[in-house]
Structure 1
Amino acid sequence: MNDNRKKITVGIFLAIGILIFVVAIFTLGSQKKTFVKSFNLSVVFNDIQGLKKGNNVWFSGVKIGTIKKIDFYGNSQVKVLLSIEEDVHKYIHKDAGASIGADGLIGNKIVVLTGGTPKFPFVEDGDMLKVNNSLSTDDIMKTLQVNNKNLVDVTSDFKILSRNLIDGKGAAGALLSDEQLAQNFKSMVSNLNRTSLASSKAAMELSAFSKTVNTKNGLMDKLLTDTAVFSKLERSVGSLQQTTQSASVMAANLEAASGKLKTSDNAAGLLLNDAATAQQVRTIMLNLEKSSKKLDEDLEALQSNFLLRGFFKKRAKDSLKMKNN
């Protein structure tokens, strides 16, 4: 009885062990898609970035296969053979691409497929997909390192700049620490404000003036639109131009005449410039004055003469009669 119990117990444990082994095989097989019908695709990478056999293949965020084999290809490239489930065959086109990604930030490497465009036919077993160039995690980390270095440099420069501002170095530092300079800056801003207000006022006045110019039947409107007014203005300008020319000619003549007065080759110039001639003219004028006085005296004497007294009386009566008429 004891032997039979031992045999039954061992048989039960063996059956449980076999059952667990079978369940494990089917579980692992379902995870690795071992018992699912599939087809193969290949991709050639320049760098597989730590990709391993058995890693997953993803399409639109869904696991559709695994990496079946990894081999060197050509001089320094790596050919990766992908085992893809047959169910997704109708979603992947021949222009589909493959890239290497990560399952999370620091997770296992995976191959990510894109579906392509409907104008291309579906892939077939053994087709080679193109590679989509994308930043790897290493490239991202390198970029982050460069950015961190740049950030450190910027922080250091800002630290120096802030220290200079506090110490009053440079124009900005002087503006922050020098009270007189700050006051001058305030005055400058105030002047600029007044200038802007004056400019605004001038612009408003110019706008008002332009409105008056555009007023219908106004002077400027007539000048700009009325051809008759413009013709009159044009004639007036022509007349003014002629007057200006005449004035110019007159000024030239006066200048020439004044030039003649400075020379002694003419009568006026001789009188003005020659002292002897001027003295002779003075003598002649003095003699004429004496002669006129003598003539007046002679006429008075004739009026007293009895022979001519009747003539002068008659002449005086005639003059008085003409005044009365």
Structure 2
Amino acid sequence: MEKEENKRALIVGIFIALGVVIFVVGIFTLGGQQSIFKKTFHVTAVFDDVAGLKKGNNVWFSGVKVGTISDVKFTGQSQVEVQMSIDNNVQSYIHSNAGAKISSDGLIGNKIIVIDGGSPQAPMIADGDMVQTNKQLSTDDIMKTLQKNNENLLAITTDFKKISTNIVKGKGLVGALMTDSVMALKFRSIVNNLNATTVSTQKVASSLNHFSDKLNTKGGLTDKLLTDTSVFNQLKASVEQLKQTTASANKLAESLNHSGANLEHATGKLNTADNILGILLNDPKGAAKLQSTLNYLNESSIKLNDDLEAAQHNFLLKGFFKDKAKKEAAQKNTTPAQ
């Protein structure tokens, strides 16, 4: 009987000891998860919307859990202040300009706070500091954005459906090109002409480049005009001479014009009947009379020559003409040869 009671007491003691051990292990495990037995520092952040964040949720830094949410309370107007307990071991990696944002532990997991370290130039964060907050899109905002994108996509597909229908029916330029072979051939011809024009333009540009290179050749006329002042002065003198020549030519042209006017005046006189040439050219009767007069004069001169010849043979005047002939012969002999 006594042995059975001792056995029962031993079993009960073992179970009690196991329970105590399990209880202690559980306390240390939960305490480790909640950072109860670790040295921590506290920071705060103020959010407009915590999206379901609550006390006890985790704080993450660079993908590592470094603390927990110690308190969530309202402050100001429609704002929520979140207090965080963070392990002292990571304090040196977090700076005063660090930021905090609300995220999710997985796709549909609990809400968490993610802290970025800030810039290394800033001082280390201190206990009681307030970190900046970055607005994070909530699930509702994401759903609204997706809904808007769906509406835009629906509108785009509707418009594309209308466009494709018109193209199939041959409406518009694209539809005409796809359904009208004549139009397609014309469009292809236009494209070929544009290609040919492009090739020609390239050739012209190449020729212009070659021409400009020739102009810029050292020792050429253009180079001398731009760099050699003596060549420029010679060209300037040539231009001045050309101006003088042009002025002389103008004066000569004026003289010729004046002579032409005089010649025209003289020609006009020939067309009138107030002078001998005008009568000969324009008055047939006067020209006939003048011709008759000249004929008479000619006949008279012939008769006069005959009379003079007869007078030379006349015995009364024959001595006079002989003496005259002798004087002329003697004068010719005495005249020295040239």
- Same fold per TM (> 0.5)? yes
Q: Which of 29, 35, 41 lines up with 2:31 in the alignment?
A: 29
CA deviation map 1:216-240 (0-9, x unaligned): 6666666665235413541353145
Whether 1:237 and 2:247 are equivalent positions in the alignment is no
Alignment counterpart, residue 91 of structure 1, candidates 90, 93, 96: 93
The RMSD of aligned alpha carbons is: 3.6
Contact 1:176–1:182 (8 Å) recurs in 2: yes
Corresponding residue number in structure 2 for 1:6 = 8
Cα 1:51/1:281, change in 2 over 3 Å = same
- Secondary structure of the 1:128 match is coil
Matched ranges for 1:23-172 at <5 A: 23-172=25-174
Amino acid at match of 1:282: N
> What corresponds to 2:335 in structure 1?
none
Counterparts of 2:144 and 2:198, CA distance in 1: 52
Question: Quick one: distance in 1 between partners of 2:95 and 2:104?
Answer: 23
SS across alignment from 2:131: strand
2:204 maps to 1:202: yes
Summarize the Cα distance change of 1:45–1:223 in structure 2 as closer, same or farther, 3 Å threshold: closer
Change (3 A) 1:236 1:186: farther
Which structure has the larger Rg? Answer: 2
Q: Aligned pair 1:301/2:309, yes or no? A: no
Aligned partner of 1:187 in structure 2 is 189
- Offset from partner CA, 1:1-46 (integer Å, 9 cap, x none): 4444333333333332332232222212211212212122111111
Distance 2:299 2:64 in 1: 152
Per-residue deviation at 1:104?
2.6
**Which letter maps to 2:36?**
T
Aligned length: 305
Between stretches 288-297 and 63-72, larger displacement belongs to 288-297
CA distance in 1, matches of 2:108, 2:14: 44
Q: Which position in structure 2 is the counterpart of 1:323?
A: none
Measure, in 1, the Cα distance between the counterparts of 2:299 and 2:218. Answer: 81
Kept in 1: contact 2:225–2:232 (CA 8 A):
yes
**Contact 2:273–2:282, Cα closer than 8 Å, also in 1:** no
Specify whether residues 248 and 158 from structure 1 end up closer, same or farther in structure 2 by C-alpha distance, changes over 3 A only.
farther
Q: Give the whole-Å Cα distance in 2 for the aligned partners of 1:166 and 1:32.
A: 68
Q: How far off is 1:138 after superposition?
A: 4.1
Match of 2:282 in 1: 282
For residues 225 and 299 of structure 2, what CA distance do their matches in structure 1 show?
74
What TM-score results when the alignment is normalised by the length of structure 2?
0.74
Cα shift at 1:59: 1.6
Distance 1:190 1:304, change over 3 A: farther
Show structure 1 runs of 5+ residues with no match. Answer: 315-325
| Structure 2: distance between partners of 1:219 and 1:293 | 76
Greater alpha carbon shift after TM alignment, 17-26 vs 42-51: 17-26
Which segment drifts farther, 91-100 or 280-289? 280-289
- TM score, norm. by length of structure 1: 0.77
Gaps of at least 5 residues in structure 2 are 314-320, 326-338
